[in-house]
Amino acid sequence: MVSAVCFANRRHDTILCERDLEKAEFIRTGRPPFFEPNLEGLLRKTIDTGKLQVSTRINNAVLNSWITFVAVGTPSKSDGSIDLTSIETSSAEIGESLRGKEGYHLVVIRSTVTPGTTENLVKPTIEKQSGKKAGEDFGLAMQPEFLREGSAIEDTLSPDRIVIGEYDKRSGDVLHRLYLDFYKDESPPILRMNLASAEMVKYASNAFLTTKISFINQVANLCEKVKAVDIVKVADAIGLDERIGRKFLNAGVGFGGSCLGKDLRAFISFSRLLGYTPDIFEAVLDFNEKQARHVVDLAEGELGCLKGRVIAVLGLSFKPNTDDVRDSPSIRIINELLKEGASLVVYDPRAIENARLILGENVRYADSALECLSDTDCCIVATEWGEFRRLSPQDFSERMRKPLLIDGRRIFDPEVYGKNLRYIAVGLGPSR
């Protein structure tokens, strides 16, 4: 969706193919089916200019274009391995459509797929259904997607790099030219390699990012045991080492979202299939699952038994600026608290509707952060939304029964909040 809107916004005639009729209708009328900053404005603009069309039929999209980007979902199976059903069915339909098409067509896989998938599944499926040959009648490339939710448009318009995995030189050249034209004088580095290396880049990038997060969370948990040590100061200092870098060293409640955990699980399962035990990735994933429990332990350390305690949780989405709650650490924390018998009041600026589908009536939903705090025994900040940063110590102390604030995302200054409240934070050692 974001790629299509960005291509159309740079005056490429673009057809967005969405099989879900309801979603397609939403998009056609300028309404994105999910929240993403700046997307709605850009979508409306591209629809008004006629540069973006929405179709529900792959055949129509393939016959009326010369490059097809495949961005279907690759969810996890119950054993963590990757489910390639949508890749296979869309490849088959693209193949069928190509059977009746004259001239060259390039197929680019953007979905995250395990190394070897484009060559061993996509290529033979398209070849079988089309009766054509990859590298001769049609081109094949794999370009991993690195955009982040919440800054998807910005990331698409100025990415750190473009990675092109190519089946043959012509396929790579066509895609390379498209991006040189798209980015003009502001082209990011464009790296070219074979299909499987490009597929590997995506998993290795995400695995590294998760390793960085679990690493800093482990140091943070250790900081909590040492008097007056603060992970934020530690991360700032180690992050200035250019070999390390400050990004992705924000300690907290763990990582979540639709990609990082799913991709790490798929990477682990892929490694094991090859007879290799990926100890680091497994440790990163296990540790991340435990970090939600760690935050609950912090609450228990202060309050004792949580049964019957009223706890406010601020933030439900897996990160700010999105309504996405998939694999959200906040939901993991809430489930742990419910197991302990706590009563929960929750609030999120955007994600309540999606969270309700998971949490149902097991929690109470507040209409604002301030309302969420009323008459509670403890507040846990699980997502670092901008509006939470503006809450003052008085906002907590005046409304809560017992003003205990657990800062799971390190958004408050311990010097200020620690003076006025019982303030506990991930990665903050005891003051005395």
Q: Considering only the stretches 35-43, 78-86, 92-100, 144-152, report the one whose residues sit in contact with ligand UDX under the rule CB under 6 A.
A: 144-152
343, amino acid identity = S
According to the binding rule CB under 6 A, does residue 334 interact with ligand UDX?
Answer: no
Torsion angle defined by CA atoms of residues 231, 236, 240 and 242, in that order, rounded to the nearest 10 degrees = 60
Residue (2 or 337) nearer to ligand UDX, CB: 2
Pair 42, 3: CB distance under 8 Å: no
According to the binding rule CB under 6 A, does residue 123 interact with ligand UDX?
Answer: no
List, as own/partner pairs, every contact residues 56-61 make where C-beta atoms lie below 8 angstroms and the sequence separation is at least 24, other chains included: 56/17, 56/18, 56/19, 56/21, 56/24, 57/17, 58/17, 58/19, 58/90, 58/93, 58/94, 58/97, 59/93, 59/96, 59/97, 60/15, 60/17, 61/15, 61/17
According to the binding rule CB under 6 A, does residue 252 interact with ligand UDX?
Answer: yes
**Secondary structure letter of residue 188 according to DSSP:** P
Among 12, 45, 148, 364, binds ligand UDX (CB under 6 A): 148
The DSSP-derived string for 189-245 is: PEEEEEHHHHHHHHHHHHHHHHHHHHHHHHHHHHHTTSTT-BHHHHHHHHHTSTTT-
Residue (54 or 70) nearer to ligand UDX, CB: 70
Residue (111 or 376) nearer to ligand UDX, CB: 111
In the chain, what is the straight-line distance between the N-terminal and C-terminal CA atoms, in Å? Answer: 52
- Of the residues 6, 17, 223, 259, only one is catalytic, namely 259
Pair 40, 66: CB distance under 8 Å: no
According to the binding rule CB under 6 A, does residue 147 interact with ligand UDX?
Answer: yes
Residue (147 or 299) nearer to ligand UDX, CB: 147
Cα separation, 323 vs 34, in Å, equals: 7
According to the binding rule CB under 6 A, does residue 427 interact with ligand UDX?
Answer: no
Site string for ligand UDX, 174-203 (x = CB under 6 A): ------------------------------
Q: How far is the CB of 157 from ligand UDX (least distance, A)?
A: 15
Among 74, 114, 250, 330, binds ligand UDX (CB under 6 A): 250
According to the binding rule CB under 6 A, does residue 404 interact with ligand UDX?
Answer: no
CA 274 from centroid of its chain's CA atoms:
27
Residue (51 or 319) nearer to ligand UDX, CB: 319
Q: How far is the CB of 351 from ligand UDX (least distance, A)?
A: 12
Q: How far is the CB of 164 from ligand UDX (least distance, A)?
A: 16
The verdict on whether 259 is a catalytic residue reads yes
According to the binding rule CB under 6 A, does residue 146 interact with ligand UDX?
Answer: yes
Q: How far is the CB of 352 from ligand UDX (least distance, A)?
A: 18
Helix (H) / strand (E) containing 29:
none
Tokens representing residue 61 in the block: 């999209």
According to the binding rule CB under 6 A, does residue 408 interact with ligand UDX?
Answer: no
Pair 320, 388: CB distance under 8 Å: no
According to the binding rule CB under 6 A, does residue 149 interact with ligand UDX?
Answer: yes
Cα separation, 6 vs 10, in Å, equals: 6
Radius of gyration of the chain (CA): 24
Among 234, 259, 342, 344, binds ligand UDX (CB under 6 A): 259
Among 256, 278, 349, 408, binds ligand UDX (CB under 6 A): 256
Q: Give the interface with ligand UDX as residue ranges (CB under 6 A).
A: 145-149, 209, 213, 248-250, 252, 255-257, 259-260, 318-319
Which residues carry out catalysis?
259
